[in-house]
Amino acid sequence: MEIEINFLKQPKLRRPYLIGGLPGIAYVGKLSVDHLIKELKAELFAEIYSKFFPPYVLIDENGLVELLKNELYYWKNNVSERDLIFFTGNAQATTPEGQYLIADKVLDIVLELGCERVYSIAASLTRKTNKKARVFGAVTDLKLISEMKKHKVILMEKGIIGGANGLMLGLAKIRNIPGLCLLGETQGFRTVSGEFLVDANAVRAVLQVLIKTLDINVDLSPLDEEVEYMKDTIKKIAEMEEYIIKKQREAASRGYKNYIT
């Protein structure tokens, strides 16, 4: 099984746009798309399984195991003639081959549904501390730059967008599908074990731009609790780092090369 698609429905959509975001730095892409799916009550229509996903299963609160997968949802917009497709999941492929094959397969599916544009959501790492996360952008066509500037998105001049969140746009471009990537600014804080912390502040910044671009109504207030939790967690991490540095300096002054506590 390289890639297996399980179609739950065959939706008929009107000139849809694709909004994609998979797990990555600070989970900006995934949390953004998951929030839209939840708030808009989008419906699941396809599950994507692949041998290219990491080799483990997830266990839910009932003890049931589940393979890692990507998912496609749809939402019919009752106030306009343009529907939306959402691409999310709990993993990215672990090999370049898998990344290309899955992204290609997703584009095949959405093109059959009449997709006219691809939006990708990702993270932009920074070392600066800003009160409000900035939003950066990249496009597949220079004609889309004015749209970015209209919503005060900072156009990236150089750099890369790694993984599926970037690759999706590159593959869309060679198929002549217009595409935009919105990147939420984040410091990419990690736990002691190296896991990225969810940056809800970056998610909020991206979604504020996206919902204006798409002209849809989405409640962002549920992110408030996540933002406050993030602030508290970052404060605790900073305090812990300060404590460790202090202890290391004390140990060094006593002639010890290493200090672990």
Mean pLDDT, rounded, of the chain:
85
31-35, 158-162, 183-187, 256-260: range with lowest mean pLDDT: 256-260
Residues 41 and 133 in one domain: yes
71-122 residue pLDDT tens: 999 999 998 889 999 999 988 999 999 999 999 999 999 999 999 999 999 9
Residues 74 and 124 in one domain: yes
CATH of the domain at 188: 3.40.50.10900
Task: Provide the strand spans (E) within 175-251.
Answer: 179-186
Residues 177 and 123 in one domain: yes
**131 — pLDDT class (breaks 50, 70, 90):** low
185-206 residue pLDDT tens: 887 666 555 566 678 888 999 9
Domain count along the chain:
2
Answer whether residue 259 shows pLDDT above 50.
Answer: no
**32 — pLDDT class (breaks 50, 70, 90):** very high
Task: Name which of 203, 148, 167 is nearest 30 in CA terms.
Answer: 203
Residues 215 and 225 in one domain: no
User: Which backbone phi and psi does 242 adopt, to 5 degrees?
Assistant: -65, -40
Q: How far is CA 152 from CA 48, 125, 136, 146, in A?
A: 35, 19, 9, 10
Residues 58 and 174 in one domain: yes
pTM: 0.84
pLDDT cut 90: percent of the chain above it: 50
Answer whether residue 256 shows pLDDT above 80.
Answer: no
**Which distant-in-sequence residues (6+ apart) come within 8 Å of 26 by Cβ?**
123, 184, 186, 188, 189, 196, 197, 198, 199, 202
Residue range of the domain that includes 97: 3-220
pLDDT at 260: 45
Residues 193 and 132 in one domain: yes
Residues 200 and 172 in one domain: yes
Residues 74 and 177 in one domain: yes
Residues 239 and 168 in one domain: no
Residues 93 and 117 in one domain: yes
Residues 116 and 82 in one domain: yes
